[in-house]
Amino acid sequence: MFSPSPPPSGLLERVFQFIDLHQNEFVQILKEWVAVESDSVQPVPHLRQELFRMMALAADKLRCLGASVDSVDTGFQQLPNGQTLPIPPIILAELGNDPKKPTVCFYGHLDVQPARQEDGWLTDPYTLTEVDGKLYGRGATDNKGPVLAWINAVSTFRALEEDLPVNIKFIIEGMEEAGSVALEELVRKEKDRFFSSVDYVVISDNLWINQGKPALTYGTRGNSYFRVEVKCRDQDFHSGTFGGILHEPMADLVALLGSLVDSSGHILIPGIYDQVAPLTEEERKMYKAIDLDLEEYRHSSHVKKFLFDTKEEILMHLWRYPSLSIHGIEGAFDEPGAKTVIPGRVIGKFSIRLVPHMNTSVVEKQVKQHLEHIFSKRNSSNQMTVSMTLGLQPWMANIKDNQYLAAKRAIKTVFGTEPDMTRDGSTIPIARIFQDIIQKSVMMLPLGAVDDGEHSQNEKINRLADSSEGPVLHHTNPKSPHGNPLTCYILAIEFPSPNLPIYIVGYFALSFAWK
């Protein structure tokens, strides 16, 4: 049994003061990290070198805190074209091994999605830029900022010469955006060593559902990513010489992609909804309780109209129903100007977000059968091949687990409001991996606001709360331990009974407080 360890008198106020005084230092560290173009999506050597540099920076930062750090070599990545690239090391770090204390493991990733200023960024995506209290830069919210928040929480205790109330472990990877290559294998290998003492796992790699209310996330969708290739020959054709006498690969591909989903978002692949878990009345009530202003959500998303008109329909189609998205076409002419070319070979890319109880292998079979049927009806002489390049299962947690109950109480204490209990439409593979392999309690604790723009242009994280927009949550609770804009998050995890509170100060470094 773990011993009770309430925070010493005055400790929290000292922590808050330290954070306030060192904000600019935290911002500078994030600026240095954002400057590293750690793009794992584009498989090119110079970006892979950047990933290695990013992981080395993080390992050095953890060592400076006194952590034991193991940068695990995970080998090479085999690409579809036969090329191989080294996989950046996965960091396993430990701070403390007191058997009387619980052990909390934090997961994060330091790779990012591609970003170019010419794609619509208002600033250089790899130069952290502050505008009106918002810190813009690729990786600011996904996921370099949250990783630093946890590291800086530990550094604050170290600077104040205070003993951490828990043992902390970090697992940090650099390939999450590319499907967490090699991560599952490492978790299996370390199940009985690194993870053997872990009691709770916390993941901070998603967002609140709105700009002004905290949330806890208990589920994510999975993802099956597909490539469909149509080929006539390796060379392109001149449309004046061959136009009108060929089955053009692009025309075939457009027809195939157009057969996948209709204008209402309904997936047209036969059988795709058969495995979707039925909607229960209890679940329906949870959607109704979510605090979501549809007009604010639409405005912050910069879209004219959603496919659905009610909050419940929007949330269900984001979280508990599958969706199909078409992402792009490789091999097509996409530069400015007019080039009269017929591509000889094109590759369409699309993905399906999966929900309980869908299975990736079943979905793969359904997609291939559907596309083969559509292609056969065109009587084309071209060759078509379909491959699933990524298959990740959905994840669900038990919201009645001690960790979720403790986090709800913590949010109520700090913010003066109950958190929204949300699911996430995206895919975070490590949650399912932890749940299946090491069978530990997994909780997702979002640190970003809904308008942070993860994966998009002008990604940001807010530096300070802004009382001019939305509810000012950090002033709603008169018993809140900090009267200034919240720079902390107190998570009371109880081991093993409600009478034994253990406090983790996982403050939002850089004053990560949201509007």
Is 293 part of the annotated catalytic residue set? Answer: no
Query: Is the CB of residue 215 less than 8 Å from the CB of residue 208?
Result: yes
Active-site pick, 111, 142, 424, 454: 111
Rounded CA gap, 463 and 429, in Å?
Answer: 28
What are the residues whose beta carbons fall under 8 Å from the beta carbon of 252, sequence distance 6 or more? 230, 375, 378, 380, 382, 384
Task: Give residue 134's identity as a one-letter amino acid code.
Answer: K
Following DSSP, what letter does each residue of 300-339 receive, concatenated? HHT-S--S-SSHHHHHHHHHTS-EEEEEEEETS--SSS--
Query: Is the CB of residue 425 less than 8 Å from the CB of residue 175?
Result: no
Is 130 part of the annotated catalytic residue set? Answer: no
Query: Is the CB of residue 471 less than 8 Å from the CB of residue 133?
Result: no
Query: Is the CB of residue 7 less than 8 Å from the CB of residue 503?
Result: yes
Query: Is the CB of residue 449 less than 8 Å from the CB of residue 462?
Result: yes
Q: Tell me how long the chain is.
A: 515
The torsion of the CA quartet 168, 174, 180, 183, rounded to 10 degrees, works out to -50
What are the residues whose beta carbons fall under 8 Å from the beta carbon of 181, sequence distance 6 or more? 74, 77, 87, 175
Rounded CA gap, 487 and 499, in Å?
Answer: 27
Active-site pick, 142, 176, 252, 424: 176
- Where in the sequence numbering do the catalytic residues fall? 111, 176
